[in-house]
Structures are given as structure tokens and as C-alpha cells.
Homo-oligomer: A and B are copies of this chain.
Amino acid sequence: MSDILKGKPVADAISAQIREKVEKLKQDKITPTLAILRVGEREDDLSYERGTMKRCENTGVAVKNIILPEDIDEKSFFETLENLNSDNQIHGILMFRPLPKHLDGERARCMLNPQKDVDGCTDGSLAGVFTNSKSGFAPCTAEAAMEILKFYGIDPAGKRAVVIGRSLVIGRPVAMLLMHANATVTICHTKTQNMAEIVREADIVICASGQMESIGKEFLAPGQTVIDVGIGWNEQKQKLCGDVIFEEADEVAAITPVPGGVGAVTTSILVRHVVEAAKK
């Protein structure tokens, strides 16, 4: 029977730290403020927006919602973004991506003020993750995975970590964060051969391929800590599932549940970034 690494206590601990910092900032007449920029009404975006707003409310961080119609013209969109960039009352910007196809998403990403890039998507933030310069912000999900390890006392130093997936939102940045924490990191991806064998050698496994229930018992070994970043609706089982077949992970030392694992921590990291941006 594995330990279940729930996200909620981690998120609660981070929220408590945030509240303290927000109190101090308010004494200096600063209210940390997040702008949420959403185009259209995608269900994923709406769900993440609700979670973020709840977390902000809960910690004293203000939110400014900017909701633009799906068919907004390019000029108006970029004017809106530019205004948020230059507005001194806005400390962080969460811009939902991908944008609708008629808007240039790459241009928007590059235009975003790196100091307000609390979601860690600009080149400045990604360079900071790569160089370990602490400038910019790491992508929230990658940092959430690291916070869970830290909260539960699992030090990556000297351990073998395998990251499954090489995306820029989670796989690559979490690999760098683990390496900065002195783990020996291997990155697996769609072109990896004998993946099960490689994953079995790991002490820490980060599952971030986005392939639901693709990691079964042949990938896992006793003693491992498994962080499951995936989340999706399993039509057959009629429930949310991660990248791991949870029932087959009963011999690992510890595993994050889905839902209620990494996802529960991500918004608290985002809000922490807003407060850090406001402090700067």
C-alpha cells in the first residue's frame, strides 16, 4: 500500500505563507493583483480560472478579469495586452493559451512583460529555469511537482529521477528543477525505446506525457515516488484519471492522486508568483 501524497495540505501550507506576505504588502499599501486574460469560453480555461479566483480570494490577492470575445480582432487584443503590461496596478498576468487561431499566440507570448509572467511562459522565464538564475517564474505545474516533493520530505539530491514527457509547460522545466535540486535526471518521450525499463530504474518518476493511464505496473518498482501530472476524463471508468493506472501502482512507496494531487497545488504556485512579482 503506497502513501498518498495529497495536494491539499501542500496548497494550504503555501496559502498560509501567501497570506502572511499579502498582509505585509498591504501595510505598504500594495495589493498584489492578478490580471486574468481570457479569450472565449473554453471549458478548461473557465475551470482553471475558477480555481485561481478562489485561491486569490482566499489569500487576499486581487483579481482583474479581462474577458474578450472569441472573435476579437488582433489589434484590440494586442492593445489590451499592452495596457496590462504597462499598468502599474497589475503585478501578474495569466493569459490563457492557446489563443484562437486568428491571433498570433507566439507574438503574444513574446510581448508579455517578463516581470508579470507569473505563469512562466516567456523566454525570460524559461531561460531562468534553464540557467537557474531565479529570474522570471517557473511554469506553475513544474514548480507544483517540486513543492509536493519538498512538503513530503523527499529530497531529490543524489536520486535518480525520470521525467516522462518533454513539453515546455512541464516536462522540460521540471527536469531542470530536479537537476538544480541535484537529482540525476533522465527525460523520456515518444521516441524513447524500452521506456518501462528506464522508468523502473528511477527513485522519482514524474509522469507528464499527457497519455491517460499509459503507465502501468511494468514501469513501476517498489520504493519509488510517483508524481502524476496528467489529468483527463476516462470515458470508460467515468472518472478523472492521470497518466498512471492508479490500481497498478500499489507497490510504489508514494504516489499523488488524480484528482487532488499536483492539480490542487498549481494555482497556489501561480498566486505565490503574483505576490513575489508585487514584492519586486
Which residues in A have some Cβ–Cβ distance to B below 8 Å? 123-124, 126-131, 133, 157-160, 166, 168, 172, 176, 179, 182, 184-189, 191-193, 198
What residue of chain B has the Cβ atom nearest to residue A129's Cβ?
B130
Q: Which of these, B126, B176, B193, contacts A131 with CB under 8 Å?
A: B126
**Residues B184 and A193 in contact, CB atoms below 8 Å apart:** yes
Give chain B residues whose Cβ lies under 8 Å from the Cβ of A130.
126-127, 129-130, 168, 172, 176
A-B complex: 3 closest residue pairs judged by Cβ atoms: A123-B127, A127-B127, A182-B191
Give chain B residues whose Cβ lies under 8 Å from the Cβ of A124.
123, 127
Q: Which of these, B127, B133, B158, B186, contacts A185 with CB under 8 Å?
A: B186
Give chain B residues whose Cβ lies under 8 Å from the Cβ of A191.
157-158, 182, 184
Give chain B residues whose Cβ lies under 8 Å from the Cβ of A185.
186-187
Tell me the complex Cα distance, A179–B168, Å. Answer: 13
What residue of chain B has the Cβ atom nearest to residue A128's Cβ?
B123
Copies of this subunit: 2
Provided the pairs A123-B127, A126-B130, A193-B158 are in contact, do residues A187 and B179 lie with their beta carbons within 8 angstroms? yes
**Residues A131 and B168 in contact, CB atoms below 8 Å apart:** yes
Q: Which of these, B123, B172, B184, contacts A123 with CB under 8 Å?
A: B123
Q: How many whole Å from A139's CB to the nearest CB in chain B?
A: 12
Give chain B residues whose Cβ lies under 8 Å from the Cβ of A184.
186-189, 191-193, 198
Q: Which of these, B127, B159, B166, contacts A126 with CB under 8 Å?
A: B127
Q: How many whole Å from A130's CB to the nearest CB in chain B?
A: 4
**Residues A192 and B158 in contact, CB atoms below 8 Å apart:** yes
Give chain B residues whose Cβ lies under 8 Å from the Cβ of A179.
166, 187, 189
Most buried by B among A127, A157, A166, A198: A127
Q: Given known contacts A127-B127, A158-B192, A182-B191, what 15 new A-B pairs fall within 8 Å (CB)?
A: A123-B123, A123-B131, A123-B133, A126-B131, A130-B176, A131-B168, A166-B179, A179-B189, A184-B186, A184-B187, A184-B188, A184-B193, A184-B198, A185-B186, A185-B187
